[in-house]
Amino acid sequence: MPPVSVDGSLEKLRREGHIVIVGASLAGLRAAETLRDEGFTGTLTLVGDEPHDPYDRPPLSKQVLLGRVPADHTGLPRRRALDARWRLGVAATGLDLAAKRVHLADGDSLEYDRLLITTGVRARPWPHELEADLDGVFVLRTSDDAAQLHRRLNAGPSRVLVIGAGFTGSEIASACRERGLDVTVVERGSAPLVGALGGVVGEVAAKLQREHGVDLRCGVMVTGLEGDSAGRLRCAHLSDGSTVEVEVAVVGLGATRNTEWLASSGLGAGPRGIACDAGCRAFDVRGIVTDDVFVAGDVARSPHPLFGYQFLSLEHWGNAIAQAEVAAHNMVSSSTERRPHVWTPSFWSAQFGVNIKSVGVPPMADEIIVTQGSLDERCFTAAYGYQGRIIAAVTFDQAKWLEFYQRQIEQAAPFPPEFTTVDRRPEGMRPVPADFPDPSLPSHGPTVTLSGHSPSDRRISFTPLHA
Amino acid sequence: MRLVVDLNRCQGYAQCAFLAPEAFTMHGDEALMYDPQPDDAQREHVLRAAQACPVKAITVEGTDGALIAERAGASRVG
């Protein structure tokens, strides 16, 4: 049934309104498609700072670095025709909430009836600018980044340094080893993936890396990158006093949310993202929800009923799509027709030949229990517990079981689990501390961040240590 | 042709890797590695793989009654 508004304004919006989407990646594209699916026939404009058609990022650290797929071959398939206006290669620079206008880097501005912000995140650069500019220092977030890094790996560098063993860093290390390149991984925490999956699973990831020939150094920081007289990266200095000779360094220190362009707009936007309600409507700095500005994808912080209504920031592929679809639906629906975004966090990573998948919010957990398989075999399912309930689960090469655990999480099932499993005797089922690092310490990014209950949290800042 | 696989859904059944090995390969026991832009000559194989996927994780452009031709560049302004 088409939505009806008392004064006809919603019908007019759906028929001839102007919707602007700032951010032309996965979330922006899927939102645009959903708007058309929902019957929006007005003008639709997508703004993107990259010059490329919307493309998929997960293959960049895997297929592309392995040389199996060219970096410009990850364009996202369209689900339908869009009839949209595209402003690609032009960043948004400001937002005037009162005038309902988005300002663009080329001096133009766009008036909107409804605005969707899907500006996502960007790679956090190496904090020391002169060192970051050395030839051989890379980040990996965009298709252009991937093309450049791939070209350099093709040249056969003597050694690659990966700074930060989060998912991206670990996948890069995996691709390098598969290509036969020598790799040193330096991780500030106690193990790879420790911020996202905790110390117990992190230990498995560490063994996996070492078995595949990675020179893994944990509990250590890179304090400086040094170039030769021609400005080419020559070596890295570490906090334990050692030096590693490297020709390529990839900085995998997590991501920064693209919210700077909203700094003086009055929206509740800050380093942790843009706060929105469960219906994807953005909050302003006063904590009042807006009627015409919506948010989706990596840049959003939204409250989740499964996790105590804390704001969650998710850097997850699946969340970008699910939230974009809800936001788009709500943008052209009356208040009673709107839907909440209650997606259960899920992500995957493929590295060193293992398929790692997770549901829920592992970093919230205090305990973990291996319910199926075994850590030693790198083939297992583990459940995470928080205050007596299952809050998350992770699988290594056991993806088929994950859906069951997702239902357990959604039903707030008890932890430790009461069910028995096929391959483990009940007496072997003992929870142990999940061993997450102090969440107040900066890390390469757990991919899920719990960021409190305040809709206008603008205080968090992050300053990585450097020489 | 462009395609994407929802790897949250994918459970490694590997049906696609049997039906369209040029586009889909298993990487280890369970992880799928695919070509997001396989050659058009692969189209029949890829469509068969998408149909056979037990968890319907594969989206191929132009199979849902939608237009294929439209690209961002075609309607770009400014």
Residues A130 and A242 in one domain: yes
In a domain, A408, yes or no: yes
Q: B31-69 burial by CB neighbour count: b if 16+ within 10 A, else e?
A: bbbbbbbbeeebbebbbebbeebebebbbbbbbeeeeee
The pLDDT tens digits of the residues spanning A29-51 come to: 999 999 999 999 999 999 999 99
Beta bridge partners, A38, equal: none
pLDDT, tens digit (0-9, with 9 covering 90-100), for A382-440: 999 999 999 999 999 999 999 999 999 999 999 999 887 777 665 567 899 999 887 66
State the average pLDDT over residues A163-189.
Answer: 97
As a whole number of angstroms, the distance between CA A135 and CA A131 comes to: 9
CA distance A125 to A434: 30
Q: What is the ipTM of this complex?
A: 0.91
Number of domains forming the structure of chain A: 3
Q: A175 to chain B: nearest residue by CA? A: B27
Place of tokens 């000559």: B41
pLDDT of A460 above 60 = no
Question: Which class for A82: exposed (0-12), middle (13-18), buried (19 or more C-beta within 10 A)?
Answer: buried
Helix (H) or strand (E) holding A154: helix A143-154
- Please determine, for residue A283, whether its predicted confidence score (pLDDT) is greater than 90: yes
Burial of A458 (0-12, 13-18, 19+ CB in 10 A): middle
**A459 has pLDDT over 50:** no
State both tokens at A93.
């620079």
Same domain, A65 and A129: no
> What is the pLDDT averaged over residues A342-369?
95
Do A141 and A88 share a structural domain? no
Q: Is the pLDDT of residue A167 over 50?
A: yes
What CATH number is given to the structural domain containing A380? 3.30.390.30
Q: Do A81 and B70 touch (CB under 8 A)?
A: yes
Residues A350, A352, A354, A359, CA torsion sign: negative
Sheet strands side by side (includes A160-163): A137-139, A248-251, A160-163, A183-187, A215-218
CB-based contact A235:A245 (threshold 8 Å) = yes
Site of tokens 């001839």 = A16
* One-letter amino acid of A196: A
Q: Is A464 among the domain residues?
A: no
3-state helix, strand and coil shares in percent for chain B, rounded to the nearest 5 = 30, 20, 55
Q: What is the DSSP letter of A105?
A: T
- Mutate which of A36, A355, A395 to test chain B, going by most B C-beta atoms within 10 A? A355
Q: Does B72 touch chain A (CB under 8 A)?
A: yes
Q: Check CB contact of B77 with chain A, cutoff 8 Å.
A: yes
A153 and A195 part of one domain: yes
Q: What is the pLDDT of residue A452?
A: 75
Closest Cα in chain B to A349: B31
Q: First CA to last CA across chain B, in angstroms?
A: 27
Which chain B residues are Cβ-neighbours of A90 within 8 angstroms? 78
**Cβ pair B67:A400 closer than 8 A:** no
The segments of chain B whose pLDDT lies below 70 read 63-78
Picking from A203, A216, A141, A202, the residue whose alpha carbon sits closest to that of residue A173 is A216
Which among A74, A80, A355 is the nearest to B30, CB-wise?
A355
Check A106 against B59: CB less than 8 A apart.
Answer: no
What one-character-per-residue DSSP string does A298-344 give? Answer: GGEEEE-GGGTT-EEEE--HHHHHHHHHHHHHHHTS-GGG-----PP
User: Across all residues in chain A, what is the average pLDDT?
Assistant: 92
Cα–Cα distance between A175 and A177 in angstroms, integer? 6
A303 and A415 in a single domain? The answer is: no
Q: B75 CB near a chain A CB, below 8 Å?
A: yes
Other C-beta atoms closer than 10 Å to the C-beta of A422 total 5
Whether A456 maps to a domain, the answer reads no
Contacts of A87 in chain B (CB under 8 A): 76-78
Nearest-by-CA chain A residue for B74: A86
Residue A388 has φ and ψ, to the nearest 5°, of 80, 10
What is the CATH T-level fold of the domain B3-75, as seen in this structure? Alpha-Beta Plaits (3.30.70)
Span A77-100, pLDDT tens digits: 999 999 999 999 999 999 999 999
A384: containing domain: 346-450
Domain end position, chosen among A222, A237, A255:
A255
The fraction of chain B above a pLDDT of 90, given in percent, is: 78
Q: Please count the residue pairs, one from chain A and one from chain B, whose beta carbons lie less than 8 angstroms apart.
A: 114
List the domain boundaries for chain B: 3-75
Q: Name the domain boundary from A240, A255, A270.
A: A255
From chain A residues 103-122, the ones with a CB under 8 A of any chain B CB are 106, 108
A116 and A261, same domain (yes or no): yes
Angle at A139 between CA A29 and CA A71, to 5 degrees: 50
Task: Enumerate residues 76 to 105 of chain A having a beta carbon within 8 A of any beta carbon in chain B.
Answer: 76-88, 90
Residues 6 or more apart in contact with residue A240 via CB below 8 angstroms: A217, A220
Q: Locate tokens 């298993």: which residue?
A: B26
Alpha-carbon gap, residue A124 to A19, rounded angstroms: 30
At A162 the pLDDT is 98
Of A53, A78, A397, the CB nearest to B30: A397
Mind listing the pLDDT tens digit for each residue in A219-261? 999 999 999 999 999 999 999 999 999 999 999 999 999 999 9
A198/A282 same-domain check: no
Are A398 and A435 within one domain? yes
Considering the domain architecture, whether residues A115 and A146 belong to the same structural domain is answered as: no
d(CA A267, CA A124): 23
A-chain residue closest to B1, CA distance = A77
Average pLDDT over residues A137-157: 98
Read off the DSSP letter of residue A109. E
Query: Could you please report the per-residue DSSP string of B23-34?
Result: TEEEETTTEEEE
CB contact under 8 A, B12 and A400: yes
pLDDT at A398: 96
Residues A108 and A132 in one domain: no
Contacts of A353 (CB under 8 A, 6+ apart): B27, B28, B29, B31
Same domain, A285 and A314: yes
Q: How far is A63 from chain B (nearest CA, A)?
A: 7
Q: What is the mean pLDDT of residues A161-173?
A: 97
The residue ranking higher by pLDDT, A161 or A459, is A161
Q: What is the CATH number of the domain that holds A64?
A: 3.50.50.60
Please tell me whether residues A129 and A220 are part of one structural domain: yes
Does some domain include residue A459? no
Higher pLDDT, A449 or A57: A57
Is B78's CB within 8 Å of A87's CB?
yes
